[in-house]
Structure 1
Amino acid sequence: MKTQPAQLPQLLKKGLAPVYLVSGDEPLLVQECCDQIRQAARQAGFEDRLTFHADQHLDWSKVSDECNAMSLFAEKRRIEIHLPTGKLGDGRNVMERVLQQPPEDIVLLLISTRLDSAETKRKWYRELQGKGVHVPVWPIDADKFQGWLQQRANRHGLSLTRGALSMLAERLEGNLLAASQELDRLSLLTNGNTVDEETIEQAVQDSSRFNGFELVQELLAGRAQHAGKIIGVLQQEGENPLGLLAVLHRDLSILAELQSTPAARENPSAFLKKRGVFQPQRARILERAGRRVTSPQLLEALRLCSQIDRAAKGFDELSPWQHLRDLSVLLAAKA
């Protein structure tokens, strides 16, 4: 079965599953989910822990041996397997055998980056869905980040003015680990006093962090102001615009097909799944963009992609980042 991170604590209270998969690209949220599972397992007597990293050097036969070994002293164990690429690779057959009849004295925890979409179609994943729990962890949407910060602040007993919360969100957006650390620090510094803008100004540095995927989402959502901020950060960090251009051109091409295909317009959700769009947030953004962006806007956006490509390769007088800013304004314009 699948469950959301917010539902995990209640699910763990009902009892332990033999296997858990926690996947996602936000290290803080993945770590917190894993810690909840570890704590519940320890409370249930699964004290010993064995850890494997599924890189090219891992001998999966050792994993198989550990999962099949009978404990002489009936010790309960936790076996953790880290999947840095989101793929099991040579371990698929091992996991299939283990998951067909999970050992009673072991809790298996798979910790992965965002799970490769091809893996979700394989037999081992179907076995896991039937025998265990998958906790997919998605990044916090930009428009929900302030709410997330407020919840975390409440958990720390911090009282923030509205201006302080807004300033904190602006400085920490996209960097949940830094946000968590800053809230820890603020709770020590303020000693129960209300946190205002002046306190944030003096105590919190700008630690906002973005990537090309986030920029593409903001461009398609028509949020030009926020996209402009991300463009500035990526430019300062020396990001290669060609990397994000590939993602942008892919999604604009999907939009063009969505708009020009009658069957796709009638059932956009099914169409997007066929095109490999499985993440709910990305699917929502593409569906909304398909309704909002006009065909002329889309054609001009694709032309600007060509200009960005030329500029990044030194064949244009303007910076590729300037063309990206123009594209952000274009996609934000109302029809």
Structure 2
Amino acid sequence: MIKISADQISRNLGSSYYLLLGSDPYLQYYAQTQLKDAFKKLGFDEQLDFNINNQTDWANIYDSCQAMSLFSSKTLICLDVGEGGLNAGITTRLNTLSEVLAPDVALIICLNKITKLQENANWYKTLSNKLVIVNCTTPDTLQLPQWIKNHLQQKQITIESEAIELLCYYYEGNLLALTQTIEQLNLLYPNQTITYNLAENNINDSSIFTAYHLIDAMVSLKTKRTTHILQQLKINDFEPLILLRIIQRELILIINLKKALQQKSLKQVFDEYKIWQHKRTIYANYLNRFDIKNLFNLLAKLTEIEISLKYDNQIQIWNAMSSLSMQFMGLDKC
């Protein structure tokens, strides 16, 4: 089994089986396109795409894996499991599929995520010796600068480091818009280094965030990033009540951590509440900065906002959310 990033596909061709793992639409499309083109050059002229769900005709897929095509001796089958993910029924079908694959059949499976338990399935073990796993997960804020540099190197485009920082800020979470903007900059300014000013004149804020990006920013006490994420969540019509619920769950977790620390060590508490290793320093810093009274006051304010939202849909909810986020970071905002 080989694990690679999507931009390494061109250097890892030759396997019969690929698992595209991750939910980034651009990376999934890019990886599929690269692989299908490569298989086409290898004589896989028949390429069949199947969207996998509970209504999928698996008999047709099995037949495609076994029957010799009238038009081609080699067949590529692409299975897109989609957002529904693996369930017991699909796993059973994949187990059967792995047993009937003919030697001249190649397989691409597109999947948002797979658990450790699901990796124990027969299909995964059967294919593993020849399986290439392609990471199609959207780069996070720490990974994005290097991803952009790799992309620019492939395209032979030169951009100032300050311009790369600008692209990271305005296109985080949206690789499709990011790559389109890079292509546009290259067309506008061919054969020259793209400066910060040139980039600034040709960009729009197209970043895409989730509520969990907001949580991480607030717990990390990153004021500018928190404000930016809130702004984008508002623009993209994120449901405020859902956002409040997620913040509430995080706040209750932090309160429970703070209370538990009165009797146990930091490591014991983090182990008990299953706090990821890479987040423990951030949580430790936050817990050291705020006392239990601050946290309960914050929870009370959150409750007030939720009550107001339920009884008055005209409330300036995003202003209230901004104030809440500032209080969360110890920067009370009137």
TM-score (normalizing by structure 1): 0.79
Please say which structure displays the higher CA radius of gyration.
2
Q: Quote the offset at 1:181 in angstroms.
A: 0.6
User: Residue type matched to 1:99 in 2?
Assistant: S
Pairing 1:1-335 to 2, within 5 Å after superposition: 1=1, 3-5=3-5, 8-9=8-9, 12-13=12-13, 15-16=14-15, 18-70=16-68, 75-89=73-87, 90-100=89-99, 102-115=101-114, 119-120=118-119, 122-129=121-128, 132-256=131-255, 260=260, 262=264, 265-266=267-268, 268=270, 272=274, 283=276, 286-294=279-287, 296=292, 298-314=295-311, 319-333=316-330
Q: Quote the offset at 1:78 in angstroms.
A: 0.6
- Is contact 1:164-1:196 (8 Å) kept? yes
Q: Quote the offset at 1:224 in angstroms.
A: 2.0
- Is contact 2:18-2:108 (8 Å) kept? yes
Three-state SS of the structure 1 residue aligned to 2:12 is helix
Q: Quote the offset at 1:186 in angstroms.
A: 1.0
Q: Quote the offset at 1:141 in angstroms.
A: 1.5
Distance 1:25 1:269, change over 3 A: farther
Three-state SS of the structure 1 residue aligned to 2:3 is coil
User: Residue type matched to 2:9 in 1?
Assistant: P
Q: Deviations over 1:104-144 (max 9, x none)?
A: 11111111234478745655445454652333432222244
Q: Quote the offset at 1:243 in angstroms.
A: 2.0
- Is contact 1:24-1:30 (8 Å) kept? yes
Three-state SS of the structure 1 residue aligned to 2:201 is helix
- Aligned counterparts of 2:126 and 2:324: Cα–Cα separation in 1: 45
Q: Quote the offset at 1:314 in angstroms.
A: 3.5
Distance 1:285 1:231, change over 3 A: farther
Q: Quote the offset at 1:304 in angstroms.
A: 4.2
TM-score (normalizing by structure 2): 0.79
Bigger Cα displacement from structure 2, 171-180 vs 242-251: 242-251
Count of aligned pairs: 323
Bigger Cα displacement from structure 2, 178-187 vs 23-32: 23-32
Task: Give the root-mean-square deviation of aligned CA atoms.
Answer: 3.5
- Aligned counterparts of 1:132 and 1:319: Cα–Cα separation in 2: 52
Distance 1:36 1:316, change over 3 A: closer
Distance 1:141 1:6, change over 3 A: same
- Aligned counterparts of 2:278 and 2:221: Cα–Cα separation in 1: 10
